[in-house]
Amino acid sequence: MSTLFKSYGLWDIVEKGAGTTADDLKKDARALFFIQSTLHESIFTKISAATTAKDAWTILKTAFQGSSKVIAIKLQGLRRDFETLSMKQGESVQQFLTRVSSIVNQIHGCGEDLSEATVVMKVLRSLTTKFDHVVAAIEESKDLSTYSFDELMGSLQAHEVRLLRSEEKDDSKAFLTKSNSGRGGGRSGRGRGRGTGSRGNHQAEQQITKKDIECYYCHKMGHVKADCYKKKREDQQGMQGVECHYCHKFGHVQADCYKKKREEEQANVVEEKGSEEGTTAMLFMTKTNEKSDVSQVWFLDSGCSNHMSGLKHLFEELDESYKKSVRLGNNKEIQVEGIGKVVVQTASGTRDLHNVYFIPQLSQNLLSIGQMMNSGYEIKFEGNTCKIEVSGTKNVVAIIQKAHNNLFPLKMLEVDESALAITDLSQSWLWHHRYGHLNINGLKLLNQKHMVIGLPEIDEVGLCEGCILGKQSKLSFPKDRSMRAKKILELVHIDLCGPMEFESIGGSQYFMLLIDDYNRMTWVYFLSYKSEAFGLFKRFKAMAETQSGVRLKALRSDRGGEFQSNEFKQFCEKEGVLQQLTTPYTPEKNDVAERKNHTVVELARSMLKSKNLPNLF
């Protein structure tokens, strides 16, 4: 409606009201007519008593946009929808970006400015895993602060078209494979029947020529969408500024790199010709007479590009969105249905096999010799044995005897990670983990002071890998001789930490710490936005002073903007709280709060690392 009013030069009349001149009154009547004529009867009753366009517009604005309080509530919901927005499995780029645009437009309609860079970065974070390659390419080749939403939409749609084209090719290949196998079965299984059914299908296929095929992209005859030159040309134009991280050429991403596909996609299979039995053995077709469980036996294969397994339960981690095909020695292709990590138990200990292909059609587990060499192992064949060693050392991982079928089977047991994580823990380890990786001296002190019921005698447990990974930091800053507070609330340290890499379940990205300098009493508050710090500080001050009966005297913080805002300074001056600001760019001066930040973050990080949990927890 505002566009209509502006096109007729009536917007000032609607927004500010009409004057007393005849021309203004005429314009006001015309604007009121436009409003009345476009409303439904059920809504018209709301403005029936309005005599000017401004009055009618104000009534509609209040009814549908709401008061400032209603708008603030709407904005809260829209912000939450925007932050939790993510692309659904099976959803197209167009559908997802339409949802994004709808929420962004509603936020703009409520008067809040949301920059295009913020929207672009949110979209890149919210895409499904199949877009990881194009997201990495965009982040490395584009300046996200100037990258427009329309440019992003074009790049994502071009990548989606490429994915669909790849899926169409895979589907067509699968269809042809089934058709060929069906015809072969018909010939071999005719018996005494006529056996004409499969030949009839073949004749029907021969009758379909290229000129009868219509392209679904350009709607011309003679080719299919996957081979459409117009589509290929437009796709290439949309990827001109993108560099492939494999061949370092422009115009495509690593997932579509022809050179990479040519070098890595073929999992060639070794053929052994002229054996004693006079047969040709294909490794994928080999059947073993080993009595061991199939899930425990892995065969060394020099023709595989990656480790491969057809047993889904072996995978500790599996990304089923990863799809590609591998080629056998007979030129037949089979589909990879995922990639992940398998944990196995060997005689030398537990080993992680990374980048293992999940191929349901495989009947045996295959170990890629090339991938093992890339992972830092040496493979040595001596006589009828194969020795696997760690490169640069004499640490032997496994010695494999050649089987009667000339293969090298390696027996590796499946590992139950949950059992391993618990069974080897002593009581000292267990309490160390329970207390968030508290240092051993601290646990001993708790035991000596009888401060924890049931806490046993604590022994030295050696180095904790979780503590090393979670608590290491740079050397300490030289300490100043400073006086410590003599009473509670005489001095309180405050600091804000964040934003964290992942949001909490409640949507928080920051936490604020307040530490009493006298007794080191600590309060923690969680925030979704930094702007909430002032309100939470006022809540803390009221609570602490009420509970202790003592007024807060001084507050020490860094020079963060949340502590130097005008309202924060005015509040402290009004309440008689002395603000002590540290020297710029020296967080060591705010050592009490910074150290407490380390303690809280390291506690959480150590718990995650010790259980091998991802950071999103």
The answer to whether 386 touches 379, Cβ cutoff 8 Å, is yes
Give the pLDDT score at 288.
38
Partners of 250 in beta bridges: 243
| Closest to 228 (Cα-Cα) out of 236, 237, 238, 218 | 218
CA 514 from chain centre, in angstroms, equals 32
The answer to whether 375 touches 366, Cβ cutoff 8 Å, is no
Superfamily of domain 492-610: Ribonuclease H-like superfamily/Ribonuclease H (3.30.420.10)
User: Residue type at 379?
Assistant: I
Provide the b/e sequence for 67-95 (b: ≥16 CB within 10 Å): eeeeeeebeeebbeebeebebeeeeebee
Give the pLDDT score at 260.
67
The answer to whether 309 touches 300, Cβ cutoff 8 Å, is no
Which residues lie closer than 8 Å to 357 by C-beta, 6 or more apart? 306, 307, 308, 309, 326, 336, 338, 339
The residue assigned the tokens 């020795």 is: 387
- The mean predicted confidence, pLDDT, of the chain is 75
Asked if omega into 499 is within 30° of 0 (cis), the reply is yes
The answer to whether 241 touches 141, Cβ cutoff 8 Å, is yes
Q: What three-state secondary structure class fits 302?
A: coil
In 274-412, at which residue ranges do the beta strands (DSSP E only) sit? Answer: 281-282, 297-301, 308-309, 315-319, 324-327, 333-336, 339-346, 349-358, 365-368, 377-382, 385-390, 396-401, 409-411
The whole-angstrom separation of Cα 341 and Cα 317 is 5
The whole-angstrom separation of Cα 125 and Cα 66 is 32
The answer to whether 338 touches 277, Cβ cutoff 8 Å, is no
Residue extents of the structural domains in the chain: 2-64, 280-417, 425-462, 492-610
Average pLDDT for runs of 10 along the chain of length 617? 74 77 80 76 72 78 65 79 85 87 84 84 86 81 83 83 65 43 43 42 46 74 77 66 68 69 46 33 36 69 85 86 81 86 74 88 86 86 84 77 81 55 57 84 84 79 76 64 81 89 83 91 90 92 92 90 89 92 76 83 83 72
The whole-angstrom separation of Cα 510 and Cα 499 is 5
Which residues lie closer than 8 Å to 553 by C-beta, 6 or more apart? 489, 490, 491, 576, 577, 578
Residues 151-181: pLDDT tens digits?
888 888 888 887 777 655 544 444 344 444 4
Q: Phi, psi at residue 494, to the nearest 5°?
A: -135, 140
The residue assigned the tokens 């006022």 is: 538
598 Rama class: left (phi>0) / alpha (psi -120 to 50) / beta: alpha
The whole-angstrom separation of Cα 594 and Cα 579 is 17
**CA triplet 319, 325, 328: central angle to 5 degrees?**
130
Q: What three-state secondary structure class fits 185?
A: helix
Give the pLDDT score at 189.
43
Residues 268-272: contacts with CB under 8 Å, at least 24 apart: 268/303, 268/327, 268/329, 269/301, 269/303, 269/328, 269/329, 270/301, 270/302, 270/303, 270/329, 271/329, 272/406
Q: State which CATH number among 3.40.605.10, 1.20.1290.10, 3.10.150.10, 2.40.70.10 fits the domain covering 280-417.
A: 2.40.70.10
E strand or H helix at 598? helix 591-610
The whole-angstrom separation of Cα 520 and Cα 492 is 9
Half-sphere exposure of 17 (CA within 13 A, CB side): 6
- Find the distance separating the first CA and the last CA of the chain, reported in whole Å: 48
| Closest to 159 (Cα-Cα) out of 117, 115, 124, 119 | 124
Give the pLDDT score at 206.
42
Structure tokens belonging to residue 72:
């603030």
Q: Over 125-165, what HEC string results?
A: HHCCHHHHHHHHHHHHHCCCCCCCHHHHHHHHHHHHHHHHH
Give the pLDDT score at 537.
93
